[in-house]
Each structure stands twice: as C-alpha cells, then as structure tokens.
Amino acid sequence: MTGSTLFDVRVVALREEAPGVVSCELRAVSGELPPCPPGAHVDVHLPNGLVRQYSVVQAGTGSYHVGIKRDPESRGGSAFMAESLRIGSRLRLGAPRDNFPLAASSGRVVLIAGGIGITALLPMARSLEESGRDWTLHYAVRTVEDVAFKPAIRDLGDRLRIHASSAEGCRLSIAGIVEQQPAGTHFYCCGPAPMLDAFSKATASLPREQVHLERFGAEPTSGGQEFMVRLARSGATLPIGADQTIIDALLAAGHDAPYSCQQGICGSCEVKVLEGRPDHRDDVLTAAEKASNKTMMICCSRACSAELVLDL
C-alpha cells in the first residue's frame, strides 16, 4: 500500500466473541487515533506484509475495537489476526475510511446484518440510539450461539431482532422486512454475498438514496476483454490482460500507485479517468459516481472501451 498516514498501535485485549469470531482492541502506542464514524473501517497492516480491512466495532480517542472472522479460505489475513496475535503485538493502522456512512436523515432506519457484518452495523445502532432516531437491527446467524458481541447486543434491547436459520420460524425474510416499512425508510445491509443479493432484489424499487450496502469483496476481475491503459503523466501505455488487474499491471511495470485491499472495498486506489469508459466493479462509488465515469478503482474495475487514459 502507498500514500497513507499510518498509526502505530498495540494489541491490548483479545476476546472470543463467538465461534470463529475474535475481537481485538488496538490502542495507540502514543497520542490519539483519528475520529471514527459508525460504519467505517481501517486498513490493518500485518507483520506478514498483508493489509486487510476491518470494520471498527467501537472507537475511542486512543483505541479501536475490530472484529475478525476466521475464514477457512483465508489468504493469510484473518488466519493471522485470529491465531497469531498476542497481547502486546504491534501493528500499524491507516486512518478510518467511511465508505458506508449513515445518511443525514431523520426518518426510520432498518439495519440488516449477516454474520460478521454485525461489526459495521453495531456502531450504527449505537449512534442511532444516542441520537434518538427510530431504528431496528435485524441480525441473521446460523444458531443463537453464533451471535457475536453479546454484551453489546443485549444493550440494544427490543430494537434488536435475531434471526437464527437453524430455528423454525426464525429465518430472515429481507423482502418481508422491506415490505413492512413506511415510505422514506433507509435500509442498510452488510453480510455475505447471498444476503446482499437478496437485499438488492428486495429494495430494487426503492429510491437509490435510501438503499445502502457494504460487501466484503468486489466482483471478480477475470472474464473480461483485454484493453489498454495510457498514463497521462508519463505517457506510458500498458496492456491489461483478461485476468489481470490494472494495479497488478502497473506494479509489474514499475509504476507506483495507491492501493490497499485489492478487492474494491476500501477506496484507496481511486484514480481520475481522463478518457474512456470504465467497467466499474467496486463497491465504493455510488451509482451516480459510476455513471459519471470521472474516477475508478484500479484494483478491480476494468474497461468497456478499448483504452482508458488515467491521471497517473
């Protein structure tokens, strides 16, 4: 990753929150950490050289709490965080990125979380409660034993609805929830891909400004056509293969560019598009921003035109 202010932190607490889910409190080695709005995430720089993104479940001036789900198919990020961290371990953090913000609205809010997606929505629930807003949180898990952050969850009271798929009559119906809400309700969803697909389908007829979701990863970059990228500042031209990302091609050719997650969810690789039409595959830009084609995320997005000219 390049082009980011980093903060030195130390692991001061580790706790098993649910089977396969660990919370980690990261405290600044010195000074304070930046304010962190509800729904934001941070880039965590691991000693093994990887950079991973985690939602901040709770934030103070000197510490952040993040939640980690141990992924059986981990490429080294969640496995390291869940198994190798110890009290006293040192890490580095990027400043919080707020790609999943609470809208400035006074109307009703419905939060829908699936599994580890609760890490993004739990701080939203706290913020809504503190501001006196009308809200409900629906939390889908496989069994009640899989509910994470139980003390904080209990504090939400009767605004919380837990949906355990293993219990008869408790399965989550996103379409049913959406149908029951009054006009003007804002909906937020964070969870696995099938849940987000169902959420998108259930909210398809609603105004886009009322629908908010966060994915754990962008669409695959493979399966596209080859295209060319021209770098406006240097004049260099690079071919991008069908199974290659723009950022990979840049780095292989010795060009520097900002990046972090390489999954289209953090926003650090956003670049201005001067000519051409991008094939947007990120989950950071809004629909209006994608339609304008003024910028793109070069870690995952491709091209609909034969060539892109980028401000690099």
Higher local confidence (pLDDT), 286 or 118: 118
Cα–Cα distances in angstroms (integers) from residue 217 to residues 192, 214, 299, in the given order: 10, 9, 11
Q: What pLDDT sits at residue 17?
A: 95
Q: 242: pLDDT confidence band, cut at 50, 70 and 90?
A: confident
Q: Read off φ and ψ for residue 124, nearest 5 degrees.
A: -65, -45
Q: 223: pLDDT confidence band, cut at 50, 70 and 90?
A: low
Q: Tell me the pLDDT tens digit for each residue of 198-207.
A: 999 999 999 9
Q: What angle do CA 279, 201, 190 make, to 5 degrees?
A: 80
Q: What angle do CA 194, 195, 197 make, to 5 degrees?
A: 65
β-bridge partners, 14: 24
Q: What pLDDT sits at residue 171?
A: 79
Q: 220: pLDDT confidence band, cut at 50, 70 and 90?
A: low
Residues 6+ apart with CB under 8 A from 151: none
Q: 3: pLDDT confidence band, cut at 50, 70 and 90?
A: very low
Burial bucket for residue 188 (CB in 10 Å: 0-12, 13-18, 19+): buried
Predicted TM-score (pTM) of the model is: 0.77
Burial bucket for residue 277 (CB in 10 Å: 0-12, 13-18, 19+): middle
Phi-psi sector, 31: left (phi>0), alpha (psi -120 to 50), beta: left
- pLDDT above 90 covers a percentage of the chain that reads 65
For the chain, what is the mean pLDDT? 89
pLDDT of 2 higher than 90:
no
- DSSP class of 97: B
Query: Helices (H), strands (E): how many in the chain?
Result: 7, 18
Residues 6+ apart with CB under 8 A from 225: 242, 302, 303
Cα–Cα distances in angstroms (integers) from residue 187 to residues 25, 88, 104, 114, 300, in the given order: 29, 39, 13, 14, 26
β-bridge partners, 17: none
**Average pLDDT over every residue of 154-175:** 87
Q: 277: pLDDT confidence band, cut at 50, 70 and 90?
A: very high
pLDDT of 218 higher than 60:
no
pLDDT of 74 higher than 80:
no
Q: What pLDDT sits at residue 4?
A: 61
- pLDDT above 70 covers a percentage of the chain that reads 93
Q: 239: pLDDT confidence band, cut at 50, 70 and 90?
A: very high
**Average pLDDT over every residue of 250-271:** 82
Instruction: Spell out the alpha helix ranges (H) of the chain.
Output: 77-83, 118-130, 150-154, 174-179, 193-202, 246-252, 287-292
pLDDT of 260 higher than 80:
no
Range with top average pLDDT, 226-230, 254-258, 261-265? 226-230
Higher local confidence (pLDDT), 295 or 46: 295
Higher local confidence (pLDDT), 296 or 3: 296
Q: What pLDDT sits at residue 221?
A: 54
Q: Tell me the pLDDT tens digit for each residue of 76-123.
A: 567 777 677 899 999 999 999 888 899 888 889 999 999 999 999 999
